[in-house]
Amino acid sequence: MASLRLFSTNHHQSLLLPSSFSSKTLVSSSPRFVKSPSRRSQIQSVLQFNRKPELAGETPRIVVITSGKGGVGKTTTTANVGLSLARYGFSVVAIDADLGLRNLDLLLGLENRVNYTVVEVLNGDCRLDQALVRDKRWSNFELLCISKPRSKLPMGFGGKALEWLVDALKTRPEGSPDFIIIDCPAGIDAGFITAITPANEAVLVTTPDITALRDADRVTGLLECDGIRDIKMIVNRVRTDMIRGEDMMSVLDVQEMLGLSLLGVIPEDSEVIRSTNRGFPLVLNKPPTLAGLAFEQAAWRLVEQDSMKAVMVEEEPKKRGFFSFFGG
Amino acid sequence: MASIDSLQFHHSLFNLQSSIGRVKLRIPSSLVLFRRRPENLNWVRVKTNQRFVCKAISDDSSTPDEEIIQNDNDVATTTQSNIPRDSNDSITRFRSMITNIARDSESSISRFRSMVTTLPPFIFVMKKCSGNSLWIGICIASTVLVAAIRAYVVRKSRDHRSTGSVADLVRRGQLRSGDRRGISKSLNYEDPFNNPFVKLGKGSSTVEMCGKVYRLAPVTLTEKEQTIHQKRRSRAYQWKRPTVFLKEGDSVPPDVDPDTVRWIPANHPFATTVSDIDQDLAQTNVYQKQGVPFRIRAEHEAMQKKLEALQNEEKLNNLGIDSQNARDFQRPYKFSAKLDDDNLPKNSQENQTGNSSSEETHKS
């Protein structure tokens, strides 16, 4: 049995994993980020302003977003990262592989436009292009649901069906998508097995609590057994106030326990719930919220196959002057 | 001039004369002199750390200049009477220092005096206020009240801001009506982080995001640690992805690895081992790029065949009764055509009800 070190000695107050701060800021080995020592270039290297990310790896990149534990934010991550990629100009197909409890269409506000699913495509009730729901906000983003809530997927070719879908998307007339993002269901049941079948890389979403971490470690082990080696981690729902009070594990503690590269850190944000209820993903908010910014940064690093080499640690709140009471 | 506040700053002298307590405070770099002017007060000397001396003297008639000079003499006199004889040298040095300071500050004192004399309204106000502290209290109370009201209003407006007016929703990008109103701009990848809540700190060491200040801390995970974790997991989790799905109760085929079998219960909520369609056909359906989908085409063809079969059947049936029935249905129209000149409404009603017309034909 695996022995998870659940208690770490160093409690950092790390919250937001900023951008691919990696060698680009601290070591400054990449010239495209740090072109000049000016302030603006430095902050651009930290927050990655005003530059389209360069796509790394072979297309289509097939990424499965999984966690093991439910309710940690897989679907939210899929929606926001997917739309962020679309905003960066990449063609994205998001597949909701949650067979029993699909919700990605709700988060994207596309629930009224899902008429056909993969099950209908398999049965020959529709073609694949008819089952793809194109987002009107970003036309290079398409949603594909694998089944309707009450229908059952024939598992005889469940995993194969996703591989056929990927092949069909590669050869479609309008061109292969740059990203195929698969929203994996919770657990390690038949839905999980189906979802990870065509994936080349995985994004593990977890929260900084021991239940999610144990499941995440298990799922990581299963993914590695299945041959998926490129696994990165998103730590979701991070609360700096609890980290400061040592009531929550810090991001660096989580990383130390799982031993995975960091793709992003998403702070706890009430806007996530609001955006979910409105069917309007967080990254489309203007101005973006803190969590939306973090999702954007995670999507950026996903494009460039980068990982975080530094985290953002919250400082003490700024002391306000006496005259701030009077509006100064 | 006893009630005038005099404040003098010098490089080594700090002279404060308050009107309220009539206190004169002189602070050289190494000495502090307090001079009080209430009547009938004798010399009081206080030593602090052997470097600060506070004195209160009674001196009502002297002018500030005289006070300074006289103060020097007082200090000298007091020093002579109290300090041991062997410190005469230091006293002398101190005296000369004070004298020099006084001389140097003469010009500034005179300037300050002239400035004070040119401010009669201020003096008047000070005199009046010193007599009536009610107005000061009212001013302070009103200031506190205004500040409290302002803080309350600001807090209230901040709370109400998140309730979400239409303009707020449009501004946040959550309502698309902004497109029609021309308020919102489309978001481009060139500017995804144009966020007014993100500010750069001094020296780029900190970043302020949404009102919170963050500093950067490097990640400590190394490649070696990652490898150790991978090895630990590979030892802990031995797993093969299932490729064969069987219903519970079925027997495992002989050529299948039992580790790759996944058992699906009959009442599984979203998975089944039963498929209505052939695997190759399903693959063909997925790969279909254009044209009518398989099942739609198949259903259409089946319906077409059924319809054709029905039509053929109808034709055969019609052929069997055609000769008699055709004549029967044609007669009333011919008959009514002969009578329609006299009775059109009646015929029209009869045409709508075929039975009645046929009855009439039979009668005829």
The 10s digit of each residue's pLDDT in B333-363 is 544 444 444 444 444 444 443 443 344 444 4
Residue B14 is assigned to a structural domain of this protein:
no
Look at residue B169 in the predicted model and tell me its pLDDT: 63
Residue B278 is assigned to a structural domain of this protein:
yes
Whether the full predicted model's pTM is greater than 0.80, yes or no, is no
CA angle A64, A65, A70 (to 5 degrees): 135
Ranges of H-type helices in A112-157 = 118-123, 128-131
Look at residue A46 in the predicted model and tell me its pLDDT: 46
Look at residue A36 in the predicted model and tell me its pLDDT: 37
Residue B145 distance to chain A (closest CA, Å): 11
CA distances in angstroms from B144 to B134, B137, B226, listed in the order given? 15, 11, 60
| CB proximity B194 to A under 8 Å | yes
Residue A100 has pLDDT above 90, yes or no: no
Residue numbers of A between 180 and 199 with CB closer than 8 Å to B: 190-191, 193, 196-197
Give B151-163 as a DSSP string: HHHHHHHHHHHTT
| CB proximity A131 to B under 8 Å | no
b/e map of B35-72 (b: 16 or more CB within 10 Å)?
A: bbbeeeeeeebeeeeeeebbbbbebeeeebeebbbebb
Ranges of H-type helices in B11-119 = 64-82, 88-117
Residue B363 is assigned to a structural domain of this protein:
no
Residue B143 has pLDDT above 90, yes or no: yes
% of chain B residues with pLDDT over 70:
43
Q: How confident is the model at residue A184 (pLDDT cuts 50, 70, 90)?
A: very high
Residue numbers of B between 228 and 267 with CB closer than 8 Å to A: 228-230, 232-243, 245, 262, 264
Mean pLDDT of B204-227: 78
**Are B276 and A43 a contacting pair at CB < 8 A?**
no
The more confident residue out of B119 and B215 is B215
At residue B168, φ and ψ (nearest 5 deg) are -65, -40
The more confident residue out of A69 and B174 is A69
At residue B60, φ and ψ (nearest 5 deg) are -95, -25
Look at residue A234 in the predicted model and tell me its pLDDT: 95
Q: pLDDT tens across A271-298, in order?
A: 888 888 888 888 887 767 888 888 988 9
Residues A259, B225 contacting (CB under 8 angstroms): yes
**Are B286 and A310 a contacting pair at CB < 8 A?**
no
**Are A99 and B271 a contacting pair at CB < 8 A?**
yes
Q: For residue A216, give the H/E element and its range.
A: helix A210-225
Residue A182 has pLDDT above 50, yes or no: yes
- Interface ipTM above 0.90: no
Structural domain range at position B301: 240-315
Residue B122 is assigned to a structural domain of this protein:
no
Residue A154, both tokens: 């024939």
Q: How confident is the model at residue A236 (pLDDT cuts 50, 70, 90)?
A: very high
Average pLDDT across chain A, whole number: 80
Nearest residue to B1 (alpha-carbon basis) of B107, B98, B120: B120
Residue B330 distance to chain A (closest CA, Å): 47
**Are B216 and A308 a contacting pair at CB < 8 A?**
no
* Integer Cα distance of A53 and B165 in angstroms: 35
- What DSSP state is assigned to residue B257? -
Mean pLDDT of B79-98: 63
The SS3 call for residue B246 is: strand
Q: How confident is the model at residue B96 (pLDDT cuts 50, 70, 90)?
A: confident
| CB proximity B222 to A under 8 Å | no
Structurally, how many domains does chain B consist of?
1
Look at residue B200 in the predicted model and tell me its pLDDT: 61
Look at residue B173 in the predicted model and tell me its pLDDT: 60
Look at residue A53 in the predicted model and tell me its pLDDT: 82
Residue B83 is assigned to a structural domain of this protein:
no
Domains of chain A, first to last? 61-97+156-304 (3.40.50.300)
In chain B, residues with a C-beta closer than 8 Å to the C-beta of A1 are: 236
Residues B193, A288 contacting (CB under 8 angstroms): yes
Mean pLDDT of B91-103: 73
With tokens 């500030």, the residue in question is B64
Q: How confident is the model at residue A321 (pLDDT cuts 50, 70, 90)?
A: low
Residue A38 has pLDDT above 70, yes or no: no
* Integer Cα distance of A91 and A141 in angstroms: 6
Residue A274 burial by Cβ neighbours in a 10 Å radius (0-12, 13-18, 19+): middle
The more confident residue out of A64 and B198 is A64
Of B197, B225, B264, the CB nearest to A259: B225
Mean pLDDT of A300-305: 90
Sheet holding A310-314, edge to edge: A14-16, A310-314, B212-218, B206-209, B198-200
In chain A, residues with a C-beta closer than 8 Å to the C-beta of B158 are: none
Mutate to test the interface with B, among A14, A38, A119, A122 (most CBs of B within 10 A): A122
Residue A73, both tokens: 């934010």
Mean pLDDT of A234-260: 87
Q: Which amino acid is at B226?
A: Q
Look at residue A157 in the predicted model and tell me its pLDDT: 76
Residue B38 is assigned to a structural domain of this protein:
no
Residue B238, both tokens: 């031995």
CB pairs under 8 A, 24+ apart, for B243-251? Answer: B243/A159, B245/A155, B245/A156, B245/A158, B245/A190, B245/B271, B245/B273, B246/B273, B247/B273, B247/B274
- What DSSP state is assigned to residue B104? H
Residue A230 distance to chain B (closest CA, Å): 12
Residue B310 is assigned to a structural domain of this protein:
yes
At residue A82, φ and ψ (nearest 5 deg) are -60, -45
The SS3 call for residue B8 is: strand
With tokens 């044609």, the residue in question is B330
Residue A83 distance to chain B (closest CA, Å): 11
**Are A26 and B293 a contacting pair at CB < 8 A?**
no
* Integer Cα distance of B256 and B253 in angstroms: 6
| CB proximity B189 to A under 8 Å | yes
Residues B35, B23 contacting (CB under 8 angstroms): yes
Please name the residue of chain B whose CA is at the shortest distance from the CA of residue A5: B229
Q: Which amino acid is at A246?
A: E
Residues 6+ apart with CB under 8 A from B348: none
Mean pLDDT of A247-270: 89
Residue B246 has pLDDT above 80, yes or no: yes
Residue numbers of A between 13 and 32 with CB closer than 8 Å to B: 14-16, 18, 21, 25-26
Of B174, B197, B277, the CB nearest to A122: B277
| Pairing mode, strands A92-96 and A179-183 | parallel
| Pairing mode, strands A14-16 and A310-314 | antiparallel
Residue A80 has pLDDT above 90, yes or no: yes
Mean pLDDT is highest, among A83-87, A187-191, B254-258, for A83-87
| CB proximity B171 to A under 8 Å | yes
Look at residue B351 in the predicted model and tell me its pLDDT: 42
**Are A296 and B204 a contacting pair at CB < 8 A?**
no
Of B216, B218, B272, the CB nearest to A152: B272
Residue A317 distance to chain B (closest CA, Å): 7
Residue B262 is assigned to a structural domain of this protein:
yes
At residue A93, φ and ψ (nearest 5 deg) are -120, 120
Mean pLDDT of B274-281: 82
The SS3 call for residue B315 is: helix
Residue A220 has pLDDT above 90, yes or no: yes
